[in-house]
Structure 1
Amino acid sequence: MYGGVSANFLRGGATTIENAEYGTAAVLKFEKTPIYYLLGRGEASGRWILADGEGIDSYPQLAEFALGGGTDHLVNLLEFPKEAALRGVSLSLTSDLPGGFSDDQLAVVTQLFPALGLACYRIAASKTAADFLAVYTGAKTSARILAGDIQRGKGAAINAAVLLADLRNFTALTEVYQPGEIARFLDEHFELIGRHVEENSGEILKFMGDSVLAIFPTGSEEGEDPRKACTAALASARNLLEANEALNLRRKREGGPDIGVDVVLHLGEVFYGNVGARGRLDFTVIGRAVNEASRLEKLCGELGQHLLMSESFAAACGTACERLGSFELRGVSKRADVFKLAAATL
């Protein structure tokens, strides 16, 4: 998401944090800095005497410092180890003393910068690892992993509302569109699904091809509340289906495909924890409720519905629902009563 992050410390002023998102003006602004100049020349340090006008015409940042009374500017680039996701850190200092930095001050800075770079690497590596883990596993799941839940088989049985979303007839598109276009379509739909799940306190656990698995745990510090979890899951489902229609209308105007989304909502007990091989674990949910949700999803096309609910979910969600009938689910011994939203609530 970001090409870089900068922290700015001003004597007597507030500390500010700036995130430079890819494709934004902030990235273009970076290309007009002394840091970019040093990177392009393969140099690790630079100094500009602002009192003499050095760099002011070339770099807006230095012109701003000079206007604020700056007389001298130092930049030191420290490269992180190759295995780190981040390229490195740049440390800059600006003086407003007449004559700029003294020789004694420069000697101190020369000793100080490597230590600061090491501290920055430690902080950045830890923060980056946590952020990466959250991106791949979800914020709540990553917190459990970082807290030490990393043993195979370790987990717990929890009650949760399960949301399973699947793109309808998506496989057929792979015969019409190039892989890059297919990936773009997936990203667009997964983005809106993820947004509406997360804004209702749910968590996506897995992307499976063109499907999304998310949960809304019923338990909290206040105790079990199945209705609250189901209400949140239902709000997510309705919002994402509405957003998907808007996405398809836009794409249709651009000559693209209409891709429907089928959503199934279920309520039940799942195992939430680590499963997998010794060297490759997956922190996910498994169990009867997940299997039943997967089987229910197959009924969406047969029944001509984009949103189906199990009996347990319909009973707990607090919204008027209409029974569609009782159906056999592959691999499930008991027939399942299947529901949709009542017409008045659509």
Structure 2
Amino acid sequence: MEIQEINDHIQWLIEQGITCEHIGELVSGLCERLIQDGFPIWRASIRMPSLHPMYRGVSASFVRGGATILENAEHGSETERNFEKTPIFYLLSRDERRGRWNLAKGEGLQYSELNEFAQAGGTDHVTSIFEFPKEVTLRGLGFSLTSDAPGGFSDGQLEVIEQLLPALGLAAYRVAVSKTATEILAVYTGAKTSARILSGETRRGMGGSINAAILLADLRDFTALTEAYEPAEIVGFLNEHFDLIDRHVEENSGEILKFMGDSVLAIFPTDAEDSKRACLAALASAKNLLKANEVLNSERTLDGGPDIGVDVVLHVGEVFYGNVGARGRLDFTVIGRAVNEASRLEKLCGTLGENLLMSESFAKTCTAASEYLGSFDLRGVSKRADVFRLADTAS
């Protein structure tokens, strides 16, 4: 291959690294270009580690004439457990950066993937590892090519691949960093909030007033559990209940903004003219998560685990939604009178023996059948609060 042709591929990789959205576009596009140049590529893949809390790594697999498949290897999955039985692990364990297996001669058949390729007609397999030396987490990538042609790849073709590898690594690195930043931020702040941050709302104090239905959920008597169970067990219980709450908040277009110990703060943004929709969404989330929590407890207690109740308070009002904090440590959250009132209302759940309470403003806005429980003083709030529960929960 001429130097100019190699440079054209390098230029293409750099351009794709700036514009493409996932590594699948890189591996498929590059392979199609090389196939046109006479490279006998049958299959190819890019594999990279991931920072996502649910996934150990990501991969994009190309097959000539077929679709490019994107996959995430979940923590604890069979893919993760079998990583030590792969060519990439073999190279990493030997501190080597390139390996080649002549499938036609029976090499590499101890690896299940290569064995499958060989049985399907594969003749040659090459894996190259490209490192990102100064990165702690995104350590590099593995790039694999498989041929089904007699004799496989020529030495000249593999030399071209080696010359293209730095540009491929640079392009994949840009895609991975962008995707990692987006995904991790969404995990820690929520999808809607992360979108606002990535759009440029990063300055301290930046934000504004919005109307929102507020859902505050708190695990009942959780402090006592910390005395009876080990920290690892406590974390497990928290994760089970938080996952349950998040699922039912998200399905109604709400978003969890904050985990505070054993409490969860979620909002359902709305405009002042359509507050009823947000309140009904918050109410549906509350009812569904309480039902799901009963199922979770019944399953856990069968195994001798604890029954953990959830108290939920619903409120609606105006809040400040934006960046709050110190110069070097910000939190994109909601603050304001409505948030403070919701927090104070939550304390009444135990006092009144109710696991779902609504403020007066929420009950009137959502128009669901409700029962007045009384007027109560809230610590730090000057006006007494009228409190309601759903009528269909009354004895």
**TM-score using structure 2 length:** 0.83
Match of 2:367 in 1: 318
- Indicate conservation of the 8 Å contact 1:152/1:274, yes or no: yes
Match of 1:50 in 2: 103
Deviation at 1:329, TM superposition (A): 1.0
Deviation at 1:85, TM superposition (A): 2.7
Q: Distance in 1 between matches of 2:237 and 2:267?
A: 23
- Indicate conservation of the 8 Å contact 1:84/1:125, yes or no: no
Equivalent of 2:376 in 310, 315, 327: 327
Amino acid at match of 1:150: T
Deviation at 1:302, TM superposition (A): 0.7
RMSD over aligned CA atoms reads 1.6
Query: Which segment is superposed worse, 19-28 or 111-120?
Result: 19-28
Deviation at 1:169, TM superposition (A): 1.2
Equivalent of 2:163 in 99, 106, 111: 111
Q: Does 2:67 correspond to 1:67?
A: no
**Aligned pairs, number:** 342
Match of 1:206 in 2: 258
Matches within 5 A, 1:2-13: 2-13=55-66
Equivalent of 1:153 in 196, 205, 230: 205
Match of 1:122 in 2: 174
Q: Does 2:90 correspond to 1:34?
A: no
Matches within 5 A, 1:243-282: 243-282=292-331
Match of 2:40 in 1: none
Q: Does 2:145 correspond to 1:96?
A: no
- Indicate conservation of the 8 Å contact 1:262/1:307, yes or no: yes
Equivalent of 2:276 in 216, 227, 232: 227
Deviation at 1:243, TM superposition (A): 1.2
3-state SS of the aligned residue for 2:209?
A: strand
Deviation at 1:106, TM superposition (A): 1.3
Q: Distance in 1 between matches of 2:247 and 2:92?
A: 37
Deviation at 1:84, TM superposition (A): 4.5
Deviation at 1:343, TM superposition (A): 2.2
Equivalent of 2:357 in 285, 308, 311: 308
Structure 1 stretches of 4+ with a deviation exceeding 6 A read none
Q: Does 2:87 correspond to 1:18?
A: no
Q: Distance in 1 between matches of 2:334 and 2:389?
A: 25
Q: Deviations over 1:199-245 (max 9, x none)?
A: 111100000011000000013xxx84211111111111111111111
Q: Does 2:381 correspond to 1:336?
A: no
**Given the superposition, is the C-alpha separation of residues 126 and 308 from structure 1 closer, same or farther in structure 2, using an over 3 Å criterion?**
same
Q: Deviations over 1:96-144 (max 9, x none)?
A: 2221111221110110112111111111111111111111000000011
Q: Deviations over 1:45-79 (max 9, x none)?
A: 100111222112x0121122223332211101122
**TM-score using structure 1 length:** 0.95
Amino acid at match of 1:216: F
Q: Does 2:217 correspond to 1:165?
A: yes
Q: Distance in 2 between matches of 1:129 and 1:141?
A: 13
Q: Distance in 1 between matches of 2:140 and 2:246?
A: 31
Unaligned runs of 5+ in 2: 1-53
Deviation at 1:318, TM superposition (A): 3.1
Q: Distance in 1 between matches of 2:172 and 2:276?
A: 45
